[in-house]
Structure 1
Amino acid sequence: MKLLIKGGRIINPAEQMDMTGDIVIEQGKIVAIGQNLTADGGQVIEAAGLVVAPGLIDMHVHLREPGLEAKEDIASGTRAAAAGGFTTVACMPNTKPVVDNSILVSGLIQRGQTEGVVNLKIIGALSKGLEGKELAEIGDMIAAGAVAISDDGGHLDSTRLLKTGLEYTGMFQRPVITHSEDEELAGEGYMHEGAVSAMLGIKGRPAVAEDIAVARDIMLAEYANSPIHIAHVSSKGAVEIIRQAKRRGVKVTAETTPHHLTLTDEELKSFNTAFKVNPPLRSADHREALIAGLKDGTLDAIATDHAPHAFEEKDVEFRYAPSGFAGLETALGVVLTGLYHTKKLTLMEVIDKMSYAPAKILGLESGVLKVGAPADITIIDTEYKWDVNCINFYTRGKHSPFEGRNFKGKALITIVNGSIIMQNGEVLK
């Protein structure tokens, strides 16, 4: 099938390209980029006034399959991704059973091909069963197609095991993705430790717990000379530690989330469990440090940490609710509304952080608009106004801290491997 995207504003961070033009797609690949192009017999998408970007990539999602399909599965999760404008997602291994061997990696890749509607990438576990005692089958999982290794879902306490894991993954130049928060310090806290937690009488998780863990993890990566990626950075101390490490030449990359960039712990005064996340929403000074870290390149990517739960799991008292919410369908709207339209990030920076940078970190050939590249493309209306209604989500997770909010900016068309998968909010597969 031939497809012509006509007259859109093409933004390609890989080449710092920002131009009005056309893109021709054939057999799943981009075959031409320019102006006044034609595609005889092909379908034409009129994109005047719209942004044509490399497909959005979320390098940190929890699709819950295998074993936790009441929360989400590959079919529902990838449809939520398509609805949000994402063409590729990478899922974490904290499932039941844990994705800690090549058979599960291969099986999930196959499931993605049969049940998914966007490109599905698999992240394998660092330790067997996520128990932090023995390395998982890292080499076999990478050979089977795992794009990264992680014990995300909790902090790996064993310094020895992380050092060994980094030395091993370094041979493959695949990143270890760490959830960096010292659990002994964070304890059983339910929110950011600060003025709001004190006022509410809720036990807090201090920001220094994140800072200490980030420092340790980076020091081990520096010693092993291996790539490390710090997930969902939320503290200003962690941003500065990463900044200094990059100046030293450490192979460290980092992400933060749409919710940590736009919300603060003030939201928890409502005791709405949708705002309970891990790491927690922090105070405004931390949020501003995250934005500054994105601007100066300290933080490389924006990832959702999409973590849906069954409705009844979140519909409990605040302290008993699990952390996380479904973020794939709101992420672009949050970032465009809260960061682009407020002039905190440029559109080039938004696309870079949500497409090109994640592709580079995971070693993917997507995230770019060039001849010969996969035709994974997101077409965005930055002025489109819409309201968040969780009931209409494709994900099974129906909780969101953004419920009822008004956003400006939305993906109108998601193209995966040359096929239109989502158009005007409707997933077509």
Structure 2
Amino acid sequence: MKLLIKGGRIINPAENMDTIGDILIEAGKIAAIGQNLDAGEAQIIDVAGFVVAPGLVDMHVHLREPGLEAKEDIASGTRAAAAGGFTTIACMPNTKPVVDNSIIVSGIMQRGQTEGVVNVKVIGALSKGLEGKELAEIGDMIQAGAVAISDDGGHLDSTRLLKTGLEYTGMFERPVITHSEDEELAGEGFMHEGAVSAMLGIKGRPSVAEDIAVARDIMLAEYTGAPLHIAHVSSKGAVELIRKAKERGVKVTAEATPHHLTLTDEELRSFNTAFKVNPPLRSADHVEALIAGLKDGTIDAIATDHAPHAFEEKDVEFRYAPSGFAGLETALGVILTGLYHTGKLSLMEVIEKMSFAPAKILGVASGDLKVGAPADIAIIDTEYKWSVDCIKFYTRGKHSPFEGRNLKGKSLITIVNGSIIMQNGEVLR
């Protein structure tokens, strides 16, 4: 079936395109882009007044399957993604069993095709069992379709193993994604170490723990010449280290999350476990540095670090709660509200950071509106006002630091491979 998206504001960072026009979709791909296209027998969707963007790409998602389906599974996680305007997501390997061999990679990809409603990409583990002792079957996993390698979920202490892993993945031009935080310094803390932690009497995680780990990881990437991606950057020191590394030509990219870009450690005064994340929410000066890093290209992408937990896991005293929350359904609204509508990022920059850039880092066929490309599209109303209600989430994770907040901006229609998957907040599959 043909589909004509008519009269929208087409924003495509890959081509620096910002124009009013139509997009014709045929056989799951973009067949034409232009003005006043002939619809023929196509179904017409009038999107005048709305933004037509490449589908959002989230390169940092915890789908929890296999083994942790009480928190999330592929069916619920991909529907949450579709509700948020995402058409491609990449899932992290800290599952049970760990995604550390080609059989599990293939299994998740197959489950993504049968149970998922968006494109599911797989990130394989760097070390067997995420134990940080022995390299996982990296080559086999990449051959099976893994788009990156990571021991995310914790810091890899072994410098030797990370060096070896970078040398190995470098041969495939696949990035190693690191959770860069020195656990010896940060491991016993529960929030950012600073004035608020001191006032609350909560042991903190110092920002220098992130800086030290980022410095080490960059040095290894520079030495090996292999691509490195630093996940969920949260400290101003890390931003500066990445900036200087890029100036030297190091193959390093980085991401920041919506919560680290819009929230501070002041939120922890409530002791609400939804605000407990790792790395922690930091003080305002760090947030300002992250936004500056987005603006100047130091930070390449915005990723959710969607990390849902079962309700009872988060419904405990603050220190005992696991870190993380469900972020797929709020990410776009949070970024549009906090960064676009405040003039800190342009709409082109928002879409680049949430679509084109992460797709480019992972080397996947997404994030670009061009003839012949898969018709993965998000139709966005930047003026749509709504309130966050976790009970209505598609994800199984019902905790969010944005619960009850009024946001401005939302994906109204999500199209995956030419099919309408979500419309007006309702996932259709």
TM, length-normalised to structure 1: 1.00
In the alignment, residue 342 of structure 2 is paired with which amino acid? T
- 1:36 aligns to what? 36
Measure, in 2, the Cα distance between the counterparts of 1:92 and 1:9: 34
In the alignment, residue 163 of structure 1 is paired with which amino acid? K
- What's the CA shift for 1:365? 1.6
- 1:329 aligns to what? 329
- Post-superposition Cα deviations, 1:326-353, rounded to whole Å, max 9, x if no partner, equal 0000000000000000000000000000
- What's the CA shift for 1:187? 2.3
Residue aligned with 1:368, SS: coil
In the alignment, residue 393 of structure 1 is paired with which amino acid? F
- What's the CA shift for 1:40? 1.1
In the alignment, residue 34 of structure 1 is paired with which amino acid? G
In the alignment, residue 231 of structure 1 is paired with which amino acid? A
Residue aligned with 2:199, SS: helix
Residue aligned with 2:122, SS: strand
- 2:295 aligns to what? 295
Residue aligned with 2:98, SS: coil
| Fraction of identical pairs, as percent | 88
- 1:47 aligns to what? 47
Alignment pair present for 1:25 and 2:25: yes
Measure, in 2, the Cα distance between the counterparts of 1:80 and 1:40: 33
- 1:355 aligns to what? 355
Measure, in 2, the Cα distance between the counterparts of 1:5 and 1:240: 42
Measure, in 2, the Cα distance between the counterparts of 1:274 and 1:365: 34
Measure, in 2, the Cα distance between the counterparts of 1:40 and 1:58: 34
Measure, in 2, the Cα distance between the counterparts of 1:225 and 1:184: 27
- 2:97 aligns to what? 97
- Post-superposition Cα deviations, 1:113-164, rounded to whole Å, max 9, x if no partner, equal 0000000000000000000000000000000000000000000000000000
- 2:235 aligns to what? 235
Measure, in 2, the Cα distance between the counterparts of 1:316 and 1:134: 35
- Post-superposition Cα deviations, 1:304-333, rounded to whole Å, max 9, x if no partner, equal 000000000000000000000000000000
- 1:320 aligns to what? 320
In the alignment, residue 51 of structure 2 is paired with which amino acid? V
- 2:57 aligns to what? 57
Measure, in 1, the Cα distance between the counterparts of 2:349 and 2:365: 19
- 1:250 aligns to what? 250
> Gaps (5+ residues) in structure 1?
none
Measure, in 2, the Cα distance between the counterparts of 1:359 and 1:197: 37
- 1:425 aligns to what? 425
1:370-389 map, 5 Å = 370-389=370-389
TM, length-normalised to structure 2: 1.00
- 1:414 aligns to what? 414
In the alignment, residue 141 of structure 2 is paired with which amino acid? M
In the alignment, residue 40 of structure 2 is paired with which amino acid? D
- 2:111 aligns to what? 111
Measure, in 2, the Cα distance between the counterparts of 1:231 and 1:274: 20
- 1:11 aligns to what? 11
- 1:210 aligns to what? 210
- What's the CA shift for 1:387? 0.3
In the alignment, residue 412 of structure 1 is paired with which amino acid? L
In the alignment, residue 103 of structure 1 is paired with which amino acid? I
In the alignment, residue 47 of structure 1 is paired with which amino acid? V
Measure, in 1, the Cα distance between the counterparts of 2:45 and 2:248: 47
Measure, in 2, the Cα distance between the counterparts of 1:156 and 1:366: 30
- What's the CA shift for 1:41? 1.2
- 2:138 aligns to what? 138
- What's the CA shift for 1:82? 0.1
Measure, in 1, the Cα distance between the counterparts of 2:38 and 2:341: 33
In the alignment, residue 277 of structure 1 is paired with which amino acid? V
Residue aligned with 1:306, SS: coil
- 1:147 aligns to what? 147
Measure, in 2, the Cα distance between the counterparts of 1:257 and 1:355: 14
- Post-superposition Cα deviations, 1:231-273, rounded to whole Å, max 9, x if no partner, equal 0000000000000000000000000000000000000000000
Measure, in 2, the Cα distance between the counterparts of 1:243 and 1:169: 23
- Runs of 4+ more than 4 Å apart: none
Measure, in 2, the Cα distance between the counterparts of 1:397 and 1:146: 25
Residue aligned with 2:313, SS: helix
- 2:193 aligns to what? 193
- Post-superposition Cα deviations, 1:353-412, rounded to whole Å, max 9, x if no partner, equal 000000100001210000001100000000000000000000000000000000000000
- 2:75 aligns to what? 75
Measure, in 1, the Cα distance between the counterparts of 2:365 and 2:404: 37
Measure, in 2, the Cα distance between the counterparts of 1:143 and 1:90: 16
Measure, in 2, the Cα distance between the counterparts of 1:49 and 1:193: 45
Measure, in 2, the Cα distance between the counterparts of 1:38 and 1:293: 43
**Cα RMSD between the aligned structures?**
0.3
In the alignment, residue 323 of structure 1 is paired with which amino acid? S
Measure, in 1, the Cα distance between the counterparts of 2:332 and 2:82: 12
